[in-house]
Amino acid sequence: MRKARLLCALTAASILLCSCSTLKTDETSVSDETEANEEISAEPLTEDILEGLWVDEEGFLCRFDFDDNTFTDHYGALYDIISIDDDSFTVSPAEGSVTPNSIWALPSSDTITVNAVYSDGKLYAFGTEAYSIDSDEGQEVSDIIRDRLAGNTLTLAVLGGYLEFNNDLTQATAGSIYGQGETVDIEFTGASILHGYGTGSEESEMIFWMSGDDVIISMDGQVGYATTAEIDYPHRWLYYDAAFESLEILDYTGKSNEFFSEDPLTGERTPIDESIPTLVSSEYLAQIHCDRGEFIQYDDMSGVFIGNEVFEQYTDSITDDTVYLIDMKSPYASMMISRQEVLNSDPGELSEYRVEFPEGYVSINIYENEWPYDYVHLTGEESLYFTDYVDTWEAYPYTDYYYIHIDHSCDEAVIYFQYDGDLAENSYIYCIYENTLIDPVQLDTTYENGMASAVIGDAGYYFLGQLEEVEQMTEENYFDIDPADSSWARNSDTGDILDLVDMEYIEQSHNGVFVVDSVEDLASLTYYVNTYPRDGFDTAFCIWVDLTADIDLTGYEWAPLGMDEYYGMEVPFSGIFAGNGHTISGLNIQNRYQDNGFFGSIFFATVIGLNIEDAVINGGSSNLMAGNVSTTSFYDCHVSGDLINNFAEGDDLFPYWPNYGNNEYFDCSISVVNAADDQYEGDLPNSDPDPNTSNELQDTFDPEHDGTYEYTTDYFFGVMPG
């Protein structure tokens, strides 16, 4: 097994080790330290002071790297350093890092200011007392982590893997309990381990913390554990109930198992009856159990957890009554406390706030004591595919698309986009409203001082640019429209097919048989099935295909024959595809869709004597022969190749869900490597024929064109062309 796969899997869990030594615990509680901060003699924060790795009693706390101008938090999430003041520093989630960009209370577009005090070699931040890794105290923490890792094997029971370190922590063997394993080079930083875990990828980092005698690891914001037992996880958590806007700190003192609830604004502490939180984990998911409920890690965001009452929907939406459990060592806890301070302040004057984005900003009018991001949430959409649903226009954006949600109680919101002197005429700010996702609405746009602005209201996708109406494809104009101007070309991944299409071939074939003997013929057939104006299965559209030669697609990027609702129309292949024992080799489909295959969508059809060889297909629920299949019979069909995203096993691989939709298989076989690198090959069990199936082919099908009707079964399904 490759080291990339091993290390990626291993770091999704955390580890339990017995320690030979223990770290002395300061009898002073965190709250006592906070009060002491007011009396210590603080030094102004500088880059020289902050540079490097900081640890507290639990291990890794954070890292400042001013060469790259980045900040790494307790979970390994990366931030850009915006500024440093005497008693605070300001960061912003780095592009591509783990960020809570779907939680309205924690906007990804904002910056986060963290209060910090430096005195006598110690950094007081995130409610803890931290030491530079180069200090004596820092080395003490580092030595304990080293003792717990060096020369030990960390068993990852959840994933069935292990990670074995050598004595000087320069190499580790990663693998599974089944015996596979490889040795990889690592670098111990003092509280984390750097390693490369993928071909061409940048160096990644495993971060180590301690809880009692337990060692816990995190990577890319994911936290887990490697034992079958729950790990006691005393910690400080920010508990926030969005329904009541209540905010408190759950603080475990470490003395007599006492818990306190602390008001983050007043510091008032109240004893509470609460058990020690426990950390449990499964693959790619961490859970915290405590008396306040069970909390799950939301996606892979740093330190942010949500209550189990939204477990079923957490990947889709966050509701206004969500309960959050946020690690106090996360910068997002600092943001939430700052938010609460603003909301609890005295009313102020009406002021203008700006939500910045790379090409402009959103301006909103609210009172000074209100939190602007409770009114406006903005997210950049680099991969917005709303055009999949339209066929009447084409957008030429001057800017990126931004999804903006605006609360209706907002006094006024105005969006501004920067432009230069090259801005084309007839450029406006447009919105594709969330409740339609169909046609963009042109907004009244004002141009002044290099900024285009418009008043905005409802939630939707906003951009500055132009729209161009396009001709809709109909049966009457179908053969007059260039393939490059088709809706399929505008809205979908077509691979290299468009340049190979022969419209004259299509026009000659579409009322009879498609005789296919070249790459160009197959491309033309695929274009026709995927573009001819219709929606869904239509008996009048059943096609007869006669493959008369082997076809090698090596070097081409292809697209499925028949598609399933990818740009507003369902266009399956229906009819008869006679492969005549020929082979289509080198099929390569790489796109953003699911249900890919040689046939992407195939309904009410018969496929005879077709071989697919050395195919490589991307996409979840995809397959080599077909993706979405219903009421189709396969005779004498054989496939081989690799599936990039399909983890199905055995017969499920020909095609996916073979028993769905009354599909039948006769004398078919597979040789398939799925996404888990498991190979399945052999003959498929024959189906029981349906005696009610049409037999229109038995006296009319001549695959060799020699007057011999080789296929005379009574169980073909198909409608003759014409």
DSSP letters for 32-49: HHHHHHTTS--B---HHH
CB 303 within 8 A of CB 329: yes
Helix (H) or strand (E) holding 664: strand 664-666
Give the amino acid at 578: A
Q: What is the pLDDT of residue 560?
A: 93
Dist. CA 340–CA 66, nearest whole Å: 30
Which residues does 385 contact at the CB level (< 8 Å), separation at least 6?
592
Judged on CB neighbours under 10 Å (0-12, 13-18, 19+), 336 is buried
Query: Tens digits of per-residue pLDDT, 605-648?
Result: 889 889 999 999 988 778 889 888 888 888 888 999 998 888 77
What Cα–Cα distance (Å) separates residue 551 from each residue in 153, 556, 611? 52, 12, 10
- The percentage of residues in the chain with a pLDDT greater than 70, rounded to a whole number, is 74
3-state helix, strand, coil in the chain (%, to 5): 15, 40, 45
End-to-end CA distance of the chain: 54
Per-residue model confidence as pLDDT tens digits over 158-212: 455 677 889 999 998 877 654 566 788 889 999 998 886 433 345 678 888 888 7
Cβ neighbors of 98 (< 8 A, separation 6 or more) are 75, 77, 220, 221, 299, 300, 301, 302
**Distance from C-alpha of 380 to C-alpha of 388, rounded to nearest angstrom:** 18
Q: How far is CA 668 from CA 30, 327, 525, 608, 684, in A?
A: 68, 55, 24, 10, 6
DSSP result, 296-352 = EE-TT-TTEEEEGGGGGGTTT---TT-EEEEETTSHHHHHHHHHHHHHTSPP--EEE
Residue with the bigger pLDDT between 443 and 204: it is 443
Indicate the SS3 state at residue 549. coil
Structure tokens belonging to residue 321 = 């009554």
Helix or strand holding residue 516 (H, E): strand 513-516
CA–CA gap between residue 270 and residue 691 (Å, rounded): 76
pLDDT at 517 over 80: yes
What's the mean pLDDT when you consider all of the chain?
78
Asked if 10 and 161 count as a contact pair (C-beta separation under 8 A), the reply is yes
Phi-psi region of 253 (alpha: psi -120 to 50; beta: other; left: phi over 0): alpha
pLDDT tens across 665-676, in order?
Answer: 888 889 999 888
pLDDT band for position 89 (cuts 50, 70, 90): very high
- At residue 44 the predicted structure's pLDDT band, cuts being 50, 70 and 90, is very high
Q: Is the separation of the CB atoms in 617 and 701 below 8 Å?
A: no
Find tokens 């893997």 and name the residue: 161
Task: For tokens 């888990």, name the residue.
Answer: 676
pLDDT at 18: 29
Q: Does the pLDDT of residue 285 top 70, yes or no?
A: no
- Give the Cα separation of 74 and 347 in Å (integer): 35
Which residues are CB-contacts of 508 (< 8 A; sequence separation ≥ 6)? none
Contact by Cβ (8 Å): 218, 149: no
- In this predicted model, what pLDDT tens digit does every residue of 425-437 receive, in sequence order? 889 999 988 766 6
At 320, the amino acid letter reads D
Tell me: the pLDDT tens digits for 463-476?
A: 999 988 777 888 89
Q: Shortest CA distance to 496 belongs to which of 484, 506, 485, 487?
A: 484
Give pLDDT, residue 619.
80
Q: Round to whole Å and give the CA distance between 655 and 627.
A: 6
What pLDDT is attached to residue 41? 78
Averaged pLDDT for residues 344-350: 86
Average of pLDDT values for 244-261? 84
Cα–Cα distance measured from residue 134 to residue 142, given in angstroms and rounded to the nearest whole number: 10
Provide the Cα torsion 224, 229, 235, 241; round to 10°.
80
In this prediction, residue 221 carries a pLDDT of 64
Cβ neighbours of residue 401 under 8 Å, at least 6 residues apart?
A: 380, 381, 384, 461, 462, 463
Dihedral sign for Cα atoms in the order 147, 148, 150, 152: positive
Is the model's pLDDT at 445 over the cut of 90? yes
Determine the Cα–Cα distance for residues 590 and 598; give it in Å rounded to an integer. Answer: 12
* DSSP string computed for 592-643: S-SS-SSEEEEEEEEEEEEEEEEEEE-STT--SSEEEEEEEEEES-EEEEEE
* Closest to 632 in 3D by CA, of 670, 680, 588, 666: 666
Tokens found for residue 46: 């500088």
Amino acid identity, position 489: A
What's the CA gap between 228 and 251, in Å, rounded? 26
pLDDT band at 493 (very low <50, low <70, confident <90, very high): confident
Measured CA to CA, the distance from residue 557 to residue 497 in angstroms comes to: 8
511: DSSP letter: T
Region for 125 from its dihedrals, namely left if φ exceeds 0, alpha if ψ lies in -120 to 50, beta otherwise = beta
Give the whole-angstrom CA distance, residue 79 versus residue 272.
35
Are 643 and 673 within 8 A, CB to CB?
Answer: yes
* 3 state DSSP class of 453: strand
Residue 518 binned pLDDT confidence (cut-offs 50, 70, 90): very high
Query: Side chain identity at 106, as an amino acid letter?
Result: L
User: Is the per-residue pLDDT at 717 higher than 70?
Assistant: no
At residue 395 the predicted structure's pLDDT band, cuts being 50, 70 and 90, is confident
- CB proximity list for 427: less than 8 A, separation 6 or greater: 398, 419, 445, 452, 464, 465, 466
CB distance 580 to 546 below 8 Å: yes
Of the listed ranges 252-261, 455-464, 625-634, the one predicted with least confidence? 252-261
DSSP state of 650: G
Going 65 to 68 to 69 to 73, the CA torsion angle's sign is negative
pLDDT at residue 636, rounded to an integer: 86
Residue 713 has pLDDT above 60, yes or no: no
Q: How many CB atoms within 10 Å of residue 414? A: 16
How many of the other CB atoms lie within 10 Å of CB of 170? Answer: 11
Q: Encoding tokens for residue 261?
A: 């609830």
CA 369, CA 341: separation in Å to the nearest integer? 9
Question: pLDDT > 90: what percent of the chain?
Answer: 29
| Beta-carbon count within 10 A of 683 CB | 11
Are the CB atoms for 56 and 128 separated by under 8 Å? yes
Residue 120 identity (one-letter amino acid): D
For the stretch 548-581, pLDDT in tens is 999 999 999 999 999 876 545 678 898 889 888 8
DSSP 8-70: HHHTTS-B----SS-PPPPSS-HHHHHHHHTTS--B---HHHH-EEEEETTEEEEEEETTTTE
**61-70, 362-371, 376-385: least confident range:** 376-385
Residue 127 DSSP label: T
Element (H, E) at 671: strand 669-673
Strands 638-643 and 599-617 come out as parallel
